[in-house]
Structure formats: structure tokens, C-alpha cells
């Protein structure tokens, strides 16, 4: 066995595995599962633990990730449903693939892996357009919901980040005018895809990320704020008038808000607000450590038995059956203020870590803001595609930071 391991060219194995992984990420659940497991297995087989720990210890961002993972794992001890907690933790334990990527990918390979992800998104959006215009059908997807490989909410987050990669490049001075013409056309197709998609989570994240991209390149000023408002206003106005799906979803959102004020919580946004009431009651009972990872369903059911807030039967039955529809609530209820604090500390250090590559450094800010905004609408770390997207991209950016440390030491 040792002889076989010694024959493995880990550098090339990681590189080609990541190219396939990044390309197939928006297209296949099976490849996502396979490659996250493969990356972790390769990390274990390397047996280069001293060298890896030495590098991790120098990175506050890496330690922040490990601290969040460690506390989530420890919270299994006070979880009531240990089986559910272990099953839930599989999402987080996949994060060890972040370190497999970061510790082994060379600086000159990172851009290629990012490009592979963009090409995979290009293929996926062409397939989605084919469904939308009724050229073909895949996995039962229809023009009203043309996302064939994942839920529309998850796909909207992937589309939002892809659109922001392109917008960031359009705003930069690192590309020629000819390159930017191609990028502009690609940006239009991705943004268009985002708005024929029904996922409002990614659309909201995209709106905020536009401001971040403009501020990165032109700093915060009256001019940049007005430019951001104008750009976002034009994009969303065009989307509302051109995309029937977006218009319907936008109008549904307004109706949901009106219904909430009248005490009706049976809608998409209404159910989220109802969950806030329930989460508040649970939090006050276990504010510091939470109820334990995986115990959202048990805790919400018990809370509604204590006080149903005069919700309808549909709302009372819905809330304990599903997840929180909010990553912050998920962490706060299951891991308390300690877990939520560790989440923010982790993002703070990811935000502050040194990355020499200018574009990757810019995309790091956009990615963090996109996720933190999208967390309000969905628990993205519970969803396979968005969780794996987080793993891949944070792995690339942490890898760029590790490589900067290697150069400077």
C-alpha cells in the first residue's frame, strides 16, 4: 500500500481532479460527492501532516474555519438526536476538502480551475436556455422553472457569483477591449439566466454584490454609490419587464409582504417570518450554546407546542418539517451565540487574509458578501451545490493566501 501511495503524483492528481470537479460542479450531484470525498482521501494519504499543520497555524482564516468546524462537532454532545446530528455534520465535514485544495494547488493552477468552473456554468446556462425556450427537456425541468440539476434557489447563487466574476472583470483594467466585449456578452447571458430563474436568494445577493464590485474599483463615494444604484436599477428594471418568471416572483414577494402585515404566514416569505418568532423563543432558552447541531426540527416542534403564536395548521406543520430557510438562524439555534460568533470571526479572517493575486482578492470580497446576504434567504451550507461551491472557491482563495505565505517565508 505504501509503495502504491509513493507512486501517486499528488500535484497532478489534485490539479486534474480539481479541473473536472470545478467544471462538473453545476452539472452533477454525483461528481460533487465523489470529488469532495476524493480530495479528503488524498489529503489523508499524503501523510504530510507536520508541514500542513505548520502552514495552517500561520493562517487565521484557516484556524477560523477549523474553530467553527470544531465547535459544530462538539455540539453533537448536547444534541438530542445524535443520528440526525451526525447526518447534518456531513455537510460541514466536507469542508476538510477546503484544506486539500488550499494546501496543494499551485498559484499558476488556480486561474485554470476557476476558468473550469466558469466553463461549467456556461454549459449549464446553455442547457437552461434550451429548456426555457422549449428546445429540450432535462430531468423534468420546465420553462417556468428551468433549473434541471438543482433547486432554483441554489442555482441562483451560482449564477450570481458567475455574473459577478464577469462584472468584476468588466470593471477592471486587466483586460483588453476585445476581451471585454466577449465578457459583456457572457455577462448578459448569465444575468439573463439569473432572472429567468425563480431563485430570489441569488438575485438579492447579486444586487448587493454589484455595489461591492463598484466600490472595489472606484471606492466608496457619492459617484460610485449613484453609479451602483443606476446599474442595479437598469438591470432589475429590464429583468422585470423582460422576464415573466422574475415579474411573477417579484409580485409574489410584494404580496407576501402585504400578507405578513395582515397576519398571513402561509407564503414563502411569510413562513420565513414565522420561523423568526419560533427561533426567538428557542434562542432565549439556550442562548449561549444552542440546542445542538441537527436539532432544529425537534426544537421547533417543542417550541410550537409551548406557543403556536396563533399560526395556521399549515404553518405549524411546515416549520418543524423543514430547515430554517436562514443560515444565521440555523447556526444560532443549533450552536448558540458561540457558534454565530465563530461564523462571523471565520468570515472576518477570510475577508482580511492576504492574497497577492488582485483578481482573486477582489473575488474573495464578492464571494463573502454574496454568501452573507444569501444566508438570509437560505441555509446555503445545508445545500449540496452551494456548500460545494463554498468549498471550491474558499479552497482556491485560501490556497492563494497559503502560496503568498510560502513566498514571503
Which residue ranges in the chain fall short of pLDDT 70?
Answer: 1-6, 405-409
φ, ψ for residue 370 (rounded to 5)?
-60, -45
C-alpha dihedral, 345 to 351 to 352 to 358, nearest 10° = 170
Q: For the segment 73-96, what is each residue's pLDDT rounded down to a tens digit?
A: 999 999 999 999 999 999 999 999
What is residue 147's predicted lDDT score, i.e. its pLDDT?
A: 87
* Single pTM value for the model: 0.93
Query: Which residue from 320, 396, 373 is spatially nearest to 97, judged by alpha carbons?
Result: 396
Q: What is the pLDDT of residues 294-324, one digit of tens each?
A: 898 899 999 999 999 889 999 999 999 888 8
User: In 286-326, which residue ranges form alpha helices assigned H by DSSP?
Assistant: 296-306, 313-318
The pLDDT value recorded for residue 245 is 82
Distances (CA, A) of 146 to 23, 127, 130, 151, 163: 20, 9, 9, 10, 18
Closest Cα partner for 75 from 84, 114, 22?
Answer: 84
SS (H, E, C) 212-245: HHHHHHHCCCHHHHHHHHHHHHHHHHHHHHHCHH
Q: What is the pLDDT of residue 2?
A: 64
How high is the pLDDT of residue 406? 59
pLDDT of residue 11: 87
pLDDT of residue 246: 85
377: its cell numbers: 434567504
Amino acid at each position: 500500500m505504501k509503495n502504491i501511495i509513493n507512486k501517486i503524483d499528488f500535484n497532478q492528481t489534485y490539479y486534474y481532479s480539481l479541473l473536472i470537479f470545478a467544471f462538473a460542479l453545476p452539472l452533477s450531484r454525483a461528481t460533487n460527492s465523489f470529488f469532495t470525498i476524493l480530495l479528503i482521501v488524498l489529503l489523508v494519504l499524503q501523510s504530510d501532516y507536520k508541514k500542513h499543520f505548520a502552514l495552517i497555524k500561520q493562517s487565521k482564516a484557516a484556524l477560523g474555519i477549523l474553530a467553527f468546524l470544531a465547535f459544530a462537532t462538539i455540539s453533537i454532545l448536547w444534541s438530542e438526536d445524535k443520528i440526525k446530528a451526525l447526518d447534518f455534520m456531513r455537510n460541514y465535514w466536507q469542508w476538510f476538502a477546503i484544506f486539500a485544495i488550499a494546501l496543494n494547488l499551485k498559484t499558476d493552477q488556480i486561474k485554470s480551475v476557476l476558468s473550469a468552473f466558469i466553463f461549467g456554468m456556461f454549459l449549464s446556462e446553455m442547457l437552461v436556455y434550451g429548456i426555457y425556450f422549449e428546445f429540450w427537456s432535462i430531468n423534468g425541468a420546465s420553462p417556468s422553472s428551468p433549473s434541471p440539476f438543482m433547486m432554483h434557489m441554489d442555482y441562483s447563487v451560482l449564477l450570481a457569483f458567475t455574473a459577478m466574476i464577469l462584472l468584476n472583470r468588466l470593471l477592471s483594467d486587466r483586460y483588453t477591449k476585445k476581451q471585454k466585449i466577449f465578457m459583456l456578452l457572457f455577462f448578459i447571458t448569465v444575468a439573463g439566466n439569473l432572472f429567468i430563474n425563480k431563485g430570489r436568494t441569488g438575485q438579492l445577493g447579486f444586487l448587493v454584490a454589484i455595489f461591492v464590485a463598484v466600490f472595489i474599483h472606484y471606492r466608496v463615494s457619492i459617484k460610485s454609490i449613484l453609479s451602483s444604484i443606476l446599474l442595479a436599477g437598469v438591470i432589475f428594471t429590464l429583468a422585470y419587464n423582460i422576464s415573466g418568471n422574475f415579474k411573477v416572483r417579484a409580485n409574489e414577494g410584494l404580496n407576501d409582504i402585504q400578507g405578513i402585515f395582515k397576519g398571513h404566514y402561509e407564503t414563502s416569505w411569510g413562513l420565513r417570518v414565522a420561523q423568526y418568532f419560533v427561533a426567538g423563543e428557542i434562542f432565549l432558552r439556550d442562548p449561549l450554546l444552542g440546542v445542538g447541531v441537527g436539532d432544529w426540527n425537534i426544537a421547533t416542534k417543542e417550541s410550537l407546542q409551548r406557543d403556536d403564536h396563533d399560526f395556521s395548521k399549515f404553518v405549524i406543520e411546515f416549520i418543524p418539517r423543514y430547515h430554517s430557510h436562514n443560515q444565521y438562524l440555523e447556526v444560532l439555534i443549533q450552536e448558540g451565540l458561540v457558534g454565530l460568533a465563530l461564523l462571523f470571526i471565520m468570515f472576518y479572517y477570510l475577508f482580511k487574509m492576504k492574497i497577492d493575486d488582485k483578481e482573486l482578492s477582489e473575488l474573495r470580497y464578492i464571494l463573502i458578501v454574496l454568501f452573507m446576504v444569501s444566508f438570509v434567504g437560505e441555509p446555503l451550507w445545508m445545500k449540496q451545490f452551494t456548500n460545494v461551491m463554498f468549498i471550491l472557491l474558499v479552497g482556491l482563495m485560501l490556497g492563494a493566501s497559503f502560496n503568498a505565505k510560502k513566498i514571503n517565508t
